[in-house]
Structure 1
Amino acid sequence: MNTADLGLPVEVPSTALFTDQYELTMLQAAMKAGTAGRRSVFEVFTRRLPGGRRYGVVAGTGRVLDAIENFRFDADVLAFLRERGVVDPETCAYLADYRFSGDVWGYPEGEVYFPGSPVLRVEGSFAECVLLETVILSILNHDSAIAAAASRMASAAGDRPLIEMGARRTHELAAVAAARAAYVGGFTSTSDLAAGFRYGIPTVGTSAHAFTLLHDHERDAFRAQVESMGRDTTLLVDTYDVAEAVRTAVEVAGPGLGAVRIDSGDLLLVAHRVRQQLDELGATGTRIIVTSDLDEYAIASLAAAPVDAYGVGTQLVTGSGHPTCSMVYKLVARAESADPAAPLVPVAKKATGGKTSIGGRKWAARRLDADGVAEAEVIGTGPVPDGLADRSLLVELVKGGEVVAREPLDAPRERHVAARAGLPLSATQLSRGEPVIPTEYVPGPTGG
């Protein structure tokens, strides 16, 4: 969901300069060579998953569609390019009228992926496709990394809700994207109001230690918060002495106090003590929320603790140690000439050093075992084998330059739950390991 879905006004900035200079210089050179109009196929994929990860999560697709739609070179942008001498006048003239008119296929947002999975396929002229490389990669690499971390945390949390609260630990715009990706990956709410405004994600928040320190006594702070926000609020109880704070909180709010938050100390031990104290005070329905630099491992270690919800910040918005997915955007096929009817020719980088690619426009399907559990990611360039035709993973996202696959944000969120449930049980293990299913390549009739 975005502000347009909410019926709110939204300023749509151009995404044209979210790119690297060499995209434009390649365009200029290709125009001079007469090859810029050749029909081309680019694919986004990663050669490997981050170390120890069992699966990846596709996130940011909706933002990619927005970026493609808003990729426009307005007068100010063109003036900047001319003043800097980035490209020549002929190229500027082409850019002034730029509108992506090709097709985009991809894994639907929320789906899982593996090494080699063609998570996005962009087709059109070389000129219009090459310009999109950087903005597509910057979105998918960031959002998919956050969603993968969120998914692991959601698995560790089980049925307990997760609050995204990492805005202060990253760039202000990245924070909004991170909240969106975290929601796709399984988080239930965010503290970031910009994310709530733009994407309709539920927002939460009450008070910090500064609010308690502002008042002469902790009791005064609790009373002020309860009078302002009601008894169902969440009181922060670790500014001074936790046991004293819990006692005071129940005295002020009564046994109907909504929740207490613990932000420091041995969370496992403190949570047990707080639960026992709350129950003894009659506040049996008061929830316990824990924060304090959590990651999926810390969340898993608290599985047996009487914790009702987790708030996660730094580790989430930095991908829990893996802030990028190392996705690449590679030309895999191009026409023999600029003739629209010219056949496509598979192309691929063949250099040594682990950066080789497989040429040809690819399909992808997930093979299931007899129990309906995924057993392999199958990728090919020829005919789809019998039994896999109805397991295709790629869906049409853009047709003839028009976005055809917009969906509310809850759709990829629900899709991810189903996709993860379809993997072998070992997918949710936090121990280091290989991808939970192998990637198999089926070559075309000529190996292309």
Structure 2
Amino acid sequence: MKKFLVASASEILSGSVTDAYFERTEEILSKAGKNPEVVMELHVKQFPSPDYGFGVLAGTYEVLKLLEGLPVTVEAMEEGSLFFPGEPVMNIKGPYLSFGKLETAIIGFVAFMSGVATKAARCRVAAWDKKMLSFGTRRMHPVVAPAIEYSAYIGGMDGVSNTAGARRLGIPAAGTMPHALVLALGGDPGTAFEYYDKYLDPSVPRIMLVDTTGAPFNETMEAARILGPKLEGIRLDTKDLAYILSSIRWELDRMGLRNVNFWISGGIDEYEIPAYAPMVEGFGVGTKIVNAPVFDFALKIVEVDGEPKAKFSNTPGHKNVWRSACHDVVSLWDSQISEGKKMLEPVLDHGIPVKEEKSPQEVRAFVLSQLEQLPSEVKKIKSPSKWEVIYSARP
């Protein structure tokens, strides 16, 4: 069988998926007999958009899998932590040659997964008490589907549609029905509704897709006729047809089907959710989640052989972050700040994990609790206030 254009796990672990200049750096240092002890700091200087008031950290567990067994020590914010520009989310300390060429993979894990998790969290802020499902993996390379669904779920999605992603999360895959089912059955929605109810297990929610023919009112009435009180919901995959939902609601209520709920999908994101939220039970968010802007993380040396040292525009020194109710303070690692929570804690000690990995459900609950506590002006979808990040090198 021909191989797909994907990197294998062994290629990632060995550093074969790297940028050429890291291999050249390794060659030069090795031939020169140099292997300095460094501290490298993972941070982002700005968010992808002025509309982003916070980020959700994801991918740290992947980085730890990559670095486990190597002679390095890692300090990191907890998976799912909210983070802000200008502060380290992870420190990696060890001989440079033991992990330097893994920089490409380290950044990739965190930049991509944090982007998806943050987009999901922004949708959660916009929808808050509405249900949301991740529908978007078909728009990305299938090899990253589990990473997408994990990131979307911890960011606030209630469920995911991808079966491989759902298995890794330990939850049932969610979804309704595709237009393909209606068309494969001759284009008759009624036949699709009938077979959906006849052949699928009763545990599968009876939520019918009602816009295949472009006549959602008629299709809903057909679904109501066929399923009666078993009809749990309808889904519109064409948001431009949402104007008809009030008429559908009226007719369903008149028929005594008051428990039928409405779902909308198709190009929805945090900017559009508020307009539709009063009409619906939930949303399917797809393309906008998986195509979320990545965070421009950088992994930079800030200490060499115990001496603070960094490139121009970076702040030298091994650092930590202290979070209070209204701001963060970035300090030197050994500083003791009188108030606030220390955000970076050791997670890998000379290649040995020192903390248990939390379940996706626990990480998701952690994200939601932070979002609830974050000031409303900082989590606004448009033009949020900035969370203050203060630098203090005092002991």
Q: TM-score, normalised by structure 1?
A: 0.81
Preserved contact between residue 160 and residue 173 of structure 2 (Cα < 8 Å): yes
Measure, in 2, the Cα distance between the counterparts of 1:408 and 1:158: 22
Q: How does 1:407-446 map to 2 (within 5 A)?
A: 407-435=358-386, 437-444=387-394
Measure, in 1, the Cα distance between the counterparts of 2:251 and 2:124: 28
2:249 aligns to what SS in structure 1?
helix
Preserved contact between residue 180 and residue 201 of structure 1 (Cα < 8 Å): no
Aligned residue for 2:348? 398
Measure, in 1, the Cα distance between the counterparts of 2:255 and 2:390: 59
Tell me how large the CA RMSD over aligned residues is.
1.9
Q: Kindly provide the amino acid, as one letter, of the partner of residue 408 in structure 1.
A: S
1:19 corresponds to 2:18? yes
Measure, in 2, the Cα distance between the counterparts of 1:267 and 1:139: 38
Aligned residue for 2:332? 381
1:253 aligns to what SS in structure 2?
helix
Preserved contact between residue 206 and residue 230 of structure 2 (Cα < 8 Å): no
Q: TM-score, normalised by structure 2?
A: 0.91
Unaligned runs of 5+ in 1: 1-10, 70-98, 336-343, 351-355, 369-374
Q: Kindly provide the amino acid, as one letter, of the partner of residue 229 in structure 2.
A: P
Map Cα deviations across residues 300-336 of structure 1 (whole Å, 9 max, x no partner).
111222x1110011111111xxx2110100000010x
1:346 corresponds to 2:308? yes
Q: Kindly provide the amino acid, as one letter, of the partner of residue 135 in structure 1.
A: A
Pick from 268, 271, 287: which aligns with 1:314?
287
1:440 aligns to what SS in structure 2?
strand
Aligned residue for 1:279? 253
Cα distance, 1:267 vs structure 2: 5.0
Cα distance, 1:382 vs structure 2: 6.0
Pick from 88, 93, 103: which aligns with 1:133?
103
Pick from 169, 189, 195: which aligns with 1:218?
189
Q: Kindly provide the amino acid, as one letter, of the partner of residue 335 in structure 2.
A: V
Measure, in 2, the Cα distance between the counterparts of 1:303 and 1:246: 20
Map Cα deviations across residues 73-97 of structure 1 (whole Å, 9 max, x no partner).
xxxxxxxxxxxxxxxxxxxxxxxxx
Preserved contact between residue 267 and residue 290 of structure 1 (Cα < 8 Å): no
1:253 corresponds to 2:227? yes
Cα distance, 1:18 vs structure 2: 2.6
Map Cα deviations across residues 324-374 of structure 1 (whole Å, 9 max, x no partner).
110100000010xxxxxxxx0011111xxxxx1000000111122xxxxxx
Cα distance, 1:108 vs structure 2: 0.6
1:303 corresponds to 2:277? yes
Cα distance, 1:397 vs structure 2: 1.5
1:289 corresponds to 2:263? yes
Q: Kindly provide the amino acid, as one letter, of the partner of residue 207 in structure 1.
A: M
Map Cα deviations across residues 200-238 of structure 1 (whole Å, 9 max, x no partner).
243113421121122243211111111012484211111
Measure, in 2, the Cα distance between the counterparts of 1:61 and 1:364: 17
Aligned residue for 1:44? 42
Measure, in 2, the Cα distance between the counterparts of 1:412 and 1:434: 25
Measure, in 1, the Cα distance between the counterparts of 2:354 and 2:332: 24
Distance 1:202 1:379, change over 3 A: farther
Measure, in 2, the Cα distance between the counterparts of 1:276 and 1:62: 49
Matched residues, number? 380
2:91 aligns to what SS in structure 1?
strand
Cα distance, 1:434 vs structure 2: 4.7
Aligned residue for 1:30? 29
Q: How does 1:16-415 map to 2 (within 5 A)?
A: 16=14, 17-36=16-35, 38-52=36-50, 53-69=52-68, 99-216=69-186, 217-229=188-200, 230=202, 232-240=205-213, 241-305=215-279, 307-319=280-292, 323-335=293-305, 344-350=306-312, 356-368=313-325, 375-381=326-332, 383-388=334-339, 391-405=341-355, 406-415=357-366
Preserved contact between residue 206 and residue 231 of structure 2 (Cα < 8 Å): yes
Measure, in 2, the Cα distance between the counterparts of 1:202 and 1:61: 25
Moved more, 326-335 or 125-134: 125-134
2:317 aligns to what SS in structure 1?
coil
Measure, in 2, the Cα distance between the counterparts of 1:179 and 1:414: 16
Cα distance, 1:103 vs structure 2: 0.8
**Where in structure 1 do 4 or more consecutive aligned residues deviate above 6 Å?**
none
Measure, in 2, the Cα distance between the counterparts of 1:285 and 1:427: 36
Measure, in 1, the Cα distance between the counterparts of 2:314 and 2:241: 47
